[in-house]
Structure 1
Amino acid sequence: MQRFIEMQQKLLPDLVPVMRDRYMLLRSISHQQPIGRRALAQAMQTTERILRAEVELLKETGLLYVTAAGMSLTEEGAQVLEEMEPLASDLFGLSELAEQLQQVLGIPQVVVVQGNADHSAWVLEELGRVGARLLKQYIREGDIVAVTGGTSVASVAHHLAPAPSFRGVQFVPARGGLGERVELQANTLASAMAAKTGSSYRLLHVPDRLRPDALQTLMEEPQVQDVLSLLQQTRIVVHGIGDALTMAKRRSYTEAELQELRASGAVSEAFGYYFDAAGQIVHRLPTIGLQLEDVQRAETVLSIAGGESKAKAILSFAKQSCQNVLITDEGAARAILSATRL
């Protein structure tokens, strides 16, 4: 297949960019359907005039249908998209990007999806779709799965579906609540994943950031002890990777605390730990939940993060050498490779 694609690129060099653009158009519609032309043009960072011709062509070939509500894929369009997926990675150079990242980051499995999550909302959905597929691949009956909060993990929850392998699985929040929308908190996502897969879940009703005295008191609560015991038995971890200062601001750090983080060189955040560019811990939240040693003991750790703005954070956390799988996008992948070549 790779050889066929190489020949195609030599004989018909204009064909590959056209296929790429139309594949991305179909994929974008599939994640946002029904969607109007103006909204789609904004999502794909193009103009309605350019988009109109492509939409008309795909409509004429029977891959799209248009109603007053917007554009959607036909059954044939969905089938074409599914059949193209195995080709897409080679056709668009994503397999090569993934292999380069595996070598640079030292992560056994890397999957790169098209686009840049910083610029296109549909890319986040694509990250979630792939994350859900890989979780289904790795899950085993009776597993305990720890999940963090955030938009990337929320997208995974959105794309999960029942499967026999989810029988007896428990989803457990990796941390307490964070000062963000309730639908993005770990408790909410653990329950959503359980509902989507027909599994069970536990909740951790504690704030994400605690005073030392409150931390000690809550640690003695039986319900908290029960959840912490489950977290120590976690086999699979599903988590996002945050930019250090962005996460600190979401946790309502004071300006003085933010300045301390800047001075320490904090680049990334995961599980309440802040890491510098060398992957060293420079700050740690006094919080209840999954600890880094628990993550390192887990058999499978799925990290999900996209957008070129996350490149430094992804590179920083990778130096912890505790993740088996990274799911990212072209924007982040190219930014990481560019940074490591300097």
Structure 2
Amino acid sequence: MQSLIEIQQQLLPDLLIVMRKRYLILRQVMLSDMIGRRTLAASLDMTERVLRAETDFLKAQELLLIDAAGMRISDAGKRLLEDMEPFYKAMFGLSELEERIRKHFGLKQVVIVSGDSDASPHTKRELGRAGCAVLSKAMKNDDVIAVTGGSTLAQVANQLTVQTPLKGNWFVPARGGLGESLDYQANTIVSTMAKRTGAQYRMLHVPDHLGEEAYTSLMQEPNVREIVEVIRKARIVIHGIGDAMVMARRRRVDAAVVDALKAEGALAESFGYYFDRSGSVVHKMLTAGLRIEDIMETEVVIAIAGGRSKGEAIAAVMRFGHDDVLVTDEAAALEIAAIIDQEE
């Protein structure tokens, strides 16, 4: 028997176009908190005349609040978006795409948000919100959660909320991170997550990459050794994924190592390890914190990464085979699907 969505696509295709347009307007306004018509029109690639007609309709339905300062979504609009999300995913093929990627990489769950994080900060924020939902569902009492750095994980931290304080939980950095932008350091992110959830946190004040002598010396320090032991016992790891060359430049890796990474076919970077197209580790940077063997033993591993430019990198880390959940965006998911097509 045909689904209602399939019937609508055949008999009322224009209705689905209008529904998608209005859904995207409401979603963009919600992600922006407050936004002007001109900015909204530009972000949706829509003329102001068309947008005015749609926002006037949504205001009349009491889904948008509009005044001289701009527009924001109403409580009724937020509830409608929540109710529409699964329908929207089914209507535009995201549910099918989630299931295809999940099966191909043997994951427990894939969550795809619409848009492209490379092109829209609002999509990156939505990626963070979806990551919050996955993390909140995974957390139990007295958990240790290890978190990597990065702009996407910072979005998760800034939106994380819980119904009851997690007093027995600990957020810890997955590894050292001094040298990165302060806002995106794992230490900053775990502090924010803990404060927003009523949990506790520990910091690891060591550089991201260490020489062998410095590593040996640091690991003899009782305080460092103690926090590293806690990190390596984490039940949940939540991490980002980066393009290998981009991450190497950002971390000021010396030219000889960059050349070696290229020669080894490094395509992706995550938790201090570099992966080739097949998901094999081709290079690791000596760092205090999580090791690859710890990731393999971790009960719940959640990857959050998006943007068309990261499609190949995400696929490479998924082939490594030790993630349980992937949270990504539509642009990256389509790139991953294209890679899957080439393999099949």
Q: What is the TM-score normalised by the length of structure 1?
A: 0.95
Q: How much does 1:295 deviate?
A: 1.1
Q: d(CA) in 1 for partners of 2:2 and 2:182?
A: 45
Contact 2:175 2:204 in 1 (8 A): yes
Q: How much does 1:121 deviate?
A: 1.4
1:257 matched to which residue of 2? 257
Q: d(CA) in 2 for partners of 1:178 and 1:307?
A: 26
2:242 matched to which residue of 1? 242
Q: d(CA) in 1 for partners of 2:322 and 2:136?
A: 20
Mark the runs of 5 or more structure 2 residues left unpaired by the alignment. Answer: none
Q: d(CA) in 1 for partners of 2:320 and 2:158?
A: 28
Q: d(CA) in 2 for partners of 1:48 and 1:111?
A: 32
Q: How does 1:1-342 map to 2 (within 5 A)?
A: 3-164=3-164, 166-342=166-342
Q: d(CA) in 2 for partners of 1:206 and 1:174?
A: 12
Q: d(CA) in 2 for partners of 1:18 and 1:120?
A: 22
Contact 1:266 1:277 in 2 (8 A): yes
- Matched AA of 1:156: V
Q: d(CA) in 1 for partners of 2:2 and 2:174?
A: 40
Deviations 1:248-281 (A, max 9, x none): 0110123333222222111000111001101111
Q: d(CA) in 1 for partners of 2:237 and 2:68?
A: 42
- Of stretches 10-19 and 230-239 in structure 1, the one that deviates more from structure 2 is 10-19
Contact 1:64 1:74 in 2 (8 A): yes
- Matched AA of 1:159: Q
Aligned length: 342
- Flag the 1:207–1:133 CA change in 2: closer, same or farther, 3 A: same
- Flag the 1:139–1:165 CA change in 2: closer, same or farther, 3 A: farther
Q: How much does 1:340 deviate?
A: 2.2
- Of stretches 78-87 and 150-159 in structure 1, the one that deviates more from structure 2 is 78-87
Q: How much does 1:227 deviate?
A: 1.0
Deviations 1:118-140 (A, max 9, x none): 12211111111111111111110
Q: d(CA) in 2 for partners of 1:291 and 1:285?
A: 10
Q: How much does 1:332 deviate?
A: 0.8
The share of aligned pairs that are identical, in percent, is: 47
Q: d(CA) in 2 for partners of 1:165 and 1:279?
A: 38
Q: d(CA) in 2 for partners of 1:203 and 1:266?
A: 29
- Flag the 1:38–1:257 CA change in 2: closer, same or farther, 3 A: farther
Mark the runs of 5 or more structure 1 residues left unpaired by the alignment. Answer: none
Q: d(CA) in 1 for partners of 2:297 and 2:165?
A: 22
Q: d(CA) in 1 for partners of 2:285 and 2:99?
A: 34
Find the residue that maps to 1:302 and give its secondary structure. strand
Q: How much does 1:29 deviate?
A: 1.0
Contact 1:179 1:250 in 2 (8 A): no
